[in-house]
C-alpha cells in the first residue's frame, strides 16, 4: 500500500513539473547570414533569453563556435575564413534547465557557396545593359563597386526574406501554450492531490 502511495505522489509531482517546464520552454532559431551564424532565442510568451550560453557543434560533436546572447536574445557569430558548408548543431543553455537546440544543414549555407557564380552572372548582365543603353560613353563599374553592391543586395535578401520566412515556419510547427493550458495543468495537480488526501482520510477512518 505504501508503494502505491509513493507511486501516486511521484506521478503528481512529475505532472506538475512538466506543466511548469512547458510554461518556460526555450525557443531557439538559427540561420546563416552572409558569413555568419545568427541565433535568436526566446521563452514561451516572447521574452528574450538574455545572456544565454550558445555553442555551435560540428557533426562530430566538437565545439566550433561559442557566444552569449545579447539583451534582445540574439547573437551573430562570424564563421572562420575557409569555412566549408557542413551540418552544425546550435545548442542554447539559458540556465535552470532551460536548453534547446537547432540544427543547420549543409544546404543552409548554399546561398553563400553559390554567390561567386551569381556575382559573375550579374556583373556580365550589368555591363551588357550599360553598353546597350549608353553606347556613346558606357559607364563601367569597378570590380569593387560591383562586389559591394551585390554583397549588400544578397545580405538584405537573406535578412528580409529568407530568414523571417524560415523563422515563421519553425514557430508554426511549435505547439502554443496558453494560460488556459497552464491553469488547467495546475488544476489537475490540485485535483489529484485532493483526491489522494480524501482517500488517505477514508483509510484512516476505516482502520
| 76-135 tens-digit pLDDT | 999 999 999 999 999 999 998 899 999 999 988 865 444 444 444 555 555 565 555 555
Please, is 73 exposed, middle or buried when counting C-beta atoms within 10 Å of its C-beta (0-12, 13-18, 19+)?
buried
| Alpha-carbon span 86 to 110, nearest angstrom | 10
Asked if residue 194 is part of any domain, the answer here is no
| Alpha-carbon span 68 to 12, nearest angstrom | 36
Asked if residue 185 is part of any domain, the answer here is no
Span 31-41, average pLDDT: 89
- DSSP letter string, 14-49: HHHHHHHHHHTPEEEEEEEETTEEEEEEEETTS-B-
Q: Decide if 150 contacts 122 (C-beta within 8 A).
A: yes
Asked if residue 151 is part of any domain, the answer here is no
State residue 131's pLDDT score.
Answer: 58
| CATH value at residue 62 | 2.60.40.3580
What's the chain's length in residues? 207
Count of domains for the chain: 1
Asked if residue 168 is part of any domain, the answer here is no
Range of the domain at 57: 26-107
More confident residue, 188 or 20: 188
Amino acid at each position: 500500500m505504501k508503494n502505491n502511495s509513493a507511486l501516486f505522489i511521484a506521478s503528481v509531482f512529475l505532472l506538475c513539473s512538466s506543466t511548469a517546464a512547458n510554461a518556460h520552454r526555450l525557443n531557439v532559431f538559427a540561420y546563416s547570414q552572409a558569413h555568419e551564424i545568427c541565433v535568436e532565442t526566446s521563452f514561451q510568451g516572447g521574452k528574450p533569453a538574455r545572456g544565454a550560453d550558445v555553442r555551435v557543434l560540428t557533426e562530430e560533436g566538437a565545439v566550433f563556435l561559442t557566444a552569449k546572447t545579447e539583451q534582445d536574445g540574439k547573437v551573430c557569430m562570424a564563421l572562420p575564413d575557409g569555412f566549408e558548408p557542413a551540418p552544425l548543431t546550435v545548442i542554447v543553455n539559458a540556465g535552470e534547465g532551460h536548453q534547446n537546440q537547432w540544427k543547420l544543414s549543409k544546404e543552409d549555407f548554399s546561398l553563400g557557396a553559390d554567390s561567386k557564380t551569381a556575382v559573375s552572372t550579374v556583373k556580365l548582365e550589368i555591363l551588357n545593359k550599360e553598353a546597350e543603353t549608353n553606347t556613346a560613353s558606357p559607364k563601367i563599374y569597378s570590380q569593387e563597386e560591383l562586389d559591394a553592391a551585390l554583397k549588400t543586395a544578397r545580405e538584405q535578401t537573406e535578412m528580409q526574406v529568407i530568414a523571417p520566412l524560415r523563422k515563421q515556419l519553425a514557430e508554426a510547427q511549435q505547439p502554443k501554450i496558453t494560460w488556459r493550458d497552464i491553469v488547467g495543468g495546475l488544476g489537475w495537480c490540485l485535483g489529484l492531490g485532493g483526491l489522494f488526501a480524501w482517500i488517505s482520510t477514508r483509510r484512516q477512518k476505516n482502520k
